[in-house]
């Protein structure tokens, strides 16, 4: 096998201007923060900027601004007018796509190929899609003129910073809610650039507020009495803490949490396409994907061939500079995440699974982990049960389709799953048996704003995207319990 060397093809970082320090974006303006913490480039540990650590007073100011904007402006505006702002934001995201892509890769460590071709276009697509809904909410399935909740508190993770912001802000705004959003502490920069987009789009002040900070800032949003609805994406552990915190309140919540998806390969699957799909399923975004295909279930009679071809493919993965257009696998987002990946991977070895990585030279500085697979994994191993959130694949085998389903469902999670088979009947059968919110067939990690996304069991509550996602931001003003409708507010 020959792998050609590619000359370096770095994207220029001169398209982005990063300030040495940022404040919060409250009521349409940037306001200074009291304390700051550094945000670093995980590929080389360079300090990119100082980010404000939001206090409960900052959160309070943001929630009050969002409330005033909701009552005075946003809830009074017609859906058609709101939609215009969303279209405007979507178009600005497209116009400034290169800037966003470079900034995302610098701050997060993901390859520019992915931020440029996936994160940023999909973020714009979410605004376009929801712009279209803004004046059509009567058709969301909640009766005539469904109402917004009010102020949404939104807390997002670091794996898709801009895209998760779009998943949260676009439906909230389309449905007439105003927003206080907190990005993850390691990846605030594209959210702060998005704040500039809100200014550029002349979005009325206070409709979108961005408070940066850590878990304590997130908790202050969750606990604030002026918040009507929480939308959270992150770990199951924090999701449970949020569920506990809001249990005695009237706050609504959607929680999009962890996953340990089974990617099931039946013996009639098209082998080469399947191998590509396995690679995409686990190594996309360094495996920092809650719906990653992190448990590969291979039918025993094709396991050897698939593993042989998988190793050939893995040897071709280019690991390195996220800004290089040829890079396939970028940096791990933080040293804390790298430690988690290392610890779980070491448990794989010590519990008896066999570890393999292709030869690859990792950069000296920054946080890196080679693409890795474990074979001989059993259901009892930690690497088969716990979310690794890194470029690590656990491989199990099965003999019968029924055994595949039992193994696939043997997890506290249920966010996504994949099926590889040539038979339509088998795909339909398996997709009905799998307890997972999204089931991909002969593909993996495909996202679309019109398609609802969310989990079973410990993977979360509610759906985001599509018509289903809208309902999380609306209350029906028409249906009563008697009529069989559930007005969640009662
Ligand atoms: P991860 O383990 O992948 O970093 P987390 O669930 O810890 O995921 O973080 C996801 C988001 O939740 C981040 O924005 C983080 O700051 C925030 N967060 C962490 N702890 C809390 C908490 N107790 N309450 C609210 N938000 C939190």
Q: Are residues 330 and 384 in the same domain?
A: yes
Distance, CA of 372 to CA of 390 (rounded, Å): 9
Cβ within 8 Å of residue 92, ≥6 positions away = 197, 200, 201
Kindly state if the Cβ of 191 falls inside 6 Å of ligand 1.
no
- Do the Cβ atoms of 120 and 101 come closer than 8 Å? yes
- Do the Cβ atoms of 15 and 98 come closer than 8 Å? yes
233 CA → ligand 1 middle, Å: 8
Structure tokens at 383: 């690497």
Distance, CA of 259 to CA of 289 (rounded, Å): 9
Helix (H, G, I), strand (E, B) or coil at 38: strand
Query: Given the DSSP bridges, would you call strands 29-31 and 24-26 parallel, antiparallel or unpaired?
Result: antiparallel
- 């989990």: which residue's tokens? 455
Q: Are residues 312 and 358 in the same domain?
A: yes
127 CA → ligand 1 middle, Å: 24
Distance, CA of 323 to CA of 339 (rounded, Å): 24
290 CA → ligand 1 middle, Å: 14
Distance, CA of 203 to CA of 367 (rounded, Å): 38
The torsion angles phi and psi of 220, rounded to 5 degrees, stand at -65, -35
Q: Are residues 80 and 215 in the same domain?
A: yes
For residue 424, the enclosing domain spans: 262-441
Q: Which run of H or E residues covers position 372?
A: strand 372-375
Q: Are residues 251 and 271 in the same domain?
A: no
Helix (H, G, I), strand (E, B) or coil at 285: helix
Q: Residue 2 has what pLDDT?
A: 55
Q: Are residues 90 and 198 in the same domain?
A: yes
Kindly write down the DSSP assignment for every residue of 234-252, as one continuous string.
Answer: S-HHHHHHHHHHHTTS--E
Helix (H, G, I), strand (E, B) or coil at 142: coil
* CATH (domain of 413): 3.40.309.10
Average pLDDT, consecutive stretches of 10 residues, N- to C-terminus, the chain (490 residues): 76 96 98 97 98 98 98 98 98 98 98 98 98 96 94 98 98 98 98 98 98 98 98 96 97 96 98 98 97 97 98 97 97 98 98 97 97 97 98 98 98 97 98 97 97 94 95 76 36
Q: Are residues 201 and 245 in the same domain?
A: yes
Residue 397 within a domain: yes
Candidates 320, 329, 222, 319; CA nearest to 285 is: 329
- What is the CA 154 to chain-centroid distance, rounded? 13
Residue 378 within a domain: yes
Q: Are residues 98 and 139 in the same domain?
A: yes
Helix (H, G, I), strand (E, B) or coil at 40: strand
139 CA → ligand 1 middle, Å: 34
Structure tokens at 365: 């500085």
Candidates 402, 490, 416; CA nearest to 453 is: 416
Q: Are residues 105 and 240 in the same domain?
A: yes
Q: How many CA atoms lie within 13 A of 268 on its CB side?
A: 9
Q: Residue 5 has what pLDDT?
A: 77
Q: Are residues 129 and 270 in the same domain?
A: no
Q: Are residues 39 and 93 in the same domain?
A: yes
Instruction: Among 234, 257, 460, say which to mutate for ligand 1: greatest number of ligand atoms within 8 Å of CB.
Output: 234
Q: What is the dihedral of CA 136, 142, 143, 146, to 10 degrees?
A: -70
Q: Any bridge partners for residue 122, and if so which? A: none
Q: Which run of H or E residues covers position 374?
A: strand 372-375
Residue 426 within a domain: yes
Q: CB-based burial of residue 419 (10 Å sphere; 0-12 exposed, 13-18 middle, 19+ buried)?
A: buried
- 């590929």: which residue's tokens? 43
Residue 105 within a domain: yes
Q: Could you give the residue ranges of the DSSP H alpha helices within 247-297?
A: 271-283
DSSP state of 13: G
Number of domains observed in the structure of the chain: 2
Kindly state if the Cβ of 230 falls inside 6 Å of ligand 1.
no
Distance, CA of 175 to CA of 473 (rounded, Å): 6
Residue 192 within a domain: yes
The torsion angles phi and psi of 299, rounded to 5 degrees, stand at -65, 135
Residue 11 within a domain: no
* CATH (domain of 176): 3.40.605.10
Q: Residue 415 has what pLDDT?
A: 96
Kindly state if the Cβ of 214 falls inside 6 Å of ligand 1.
yes
Q: Which residues are catalytic?
A: 256, 290
Q: Are residues 105 and 206 in the same domain?
A: yes
Q: Are residues 223 and 304 in the same domain?
A: no
Q: Which run of H or E residues covers position 461?
A: strand 460-461
Kindly state if the Cβ of 184 falls inside 6 Å of ligand 1.
yes
Q: Which run of H or E residues covers position 452?
A: none
Residue 73 within a domain: yes
């Amino acid at each position: 096998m020959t792998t050609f060397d590619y000359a370096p093809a770095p994207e220029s970082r001169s398209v982005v201007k990063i300030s040495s320090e940022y404040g919060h974006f409250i009521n349409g303006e940037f306001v200074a923060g009291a304390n700051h913490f550094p945000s670093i480039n995980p590929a080389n540990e360079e300090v990119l900027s100082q980010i404000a650590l939001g206090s409960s007073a900052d959160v309070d100011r943001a929630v009050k601004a969002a409330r005033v904007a909701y009552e005075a402006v946003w809830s009074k505006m017609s859906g058609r007018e709101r939609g215009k702002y969303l279209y405007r934001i979507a178009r600005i995201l497209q116009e400034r796509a290169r800037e966003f892509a470079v900034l995302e890769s610098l701050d997060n460590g993901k390859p520019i190929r992915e931020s440029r071709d996936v994160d940023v276009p999909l973020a714009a697509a979410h605004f376009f899609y929801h712009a279209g809904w803004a004046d059509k909410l009567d058709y969301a399935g909640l009766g005539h003129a469904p109402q917004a909740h009010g102020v949404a508190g939104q807390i997002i993770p670091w794996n898709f910073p801009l895209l998760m912001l779009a998943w949260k802000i676009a439906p909230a705004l389309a449905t007439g809610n105003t927003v206080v959003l907190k990005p993850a502490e390691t990846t605030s920069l594209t959210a702060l650039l998005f704040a500039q987009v809100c200014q550029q789009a002349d979005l009325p002040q206070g409709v979108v507020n961005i408070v940066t900070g850590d878990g304590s800032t997130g908790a202050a949003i969750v606990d604030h009495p002026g918040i009507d609805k929480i939308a959270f994406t992150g770990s199951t552990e924090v999701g449970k803490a949020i569920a506990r915190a809001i249990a005695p309140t009237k706050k609504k919540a959607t929680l999009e949490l962890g996953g340990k998806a089974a990617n099931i390969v039946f013996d009639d699957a098209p082998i080469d396409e399947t191998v590509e799909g396995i690679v995409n399923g686990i190594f996309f975004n360094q495996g920092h994907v809650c719906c990653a295909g992190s448990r590969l279930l291979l039918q025993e009679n094709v396991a050897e061939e698939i593993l042989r071809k998988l190793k050939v493919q893995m040897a071709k993965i280019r690991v390195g500079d996220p800004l290089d257009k040829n890079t396939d696998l970028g940096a791990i987002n933080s040293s804390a995440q790298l430690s988690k990946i290392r610890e779980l991977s070491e448990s794989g070895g010590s519990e008896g699974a066999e570890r393999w990585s292709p030869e690859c030279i990792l950069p000296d500085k920054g946080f890196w982990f080679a693409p890795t697979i474990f074979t001989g994994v059993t259901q009892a191993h930690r690497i088969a049960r716990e979310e690794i959130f890194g470029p690590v694949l656990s491989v199990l085998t099965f003999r019968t389709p029924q055994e595949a389903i039992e193994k696939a469902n043997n997890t506290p999670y249920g966010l996504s799953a994949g099926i590889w088979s040539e038979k339509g009947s088998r795909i339909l059968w398996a997709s009905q048996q799998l307890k997972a919110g999204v089931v991909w067939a002969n593909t993996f990690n495909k996202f679309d704003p019109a398609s609802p996304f969310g989990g079973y069991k410990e993977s979360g509550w509610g759906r985001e995207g599509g018509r289903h996602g809208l309902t999380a931001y609306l209350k029906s003003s028409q249906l009563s319990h008697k009529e069989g409708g559930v007005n969640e507010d009662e």
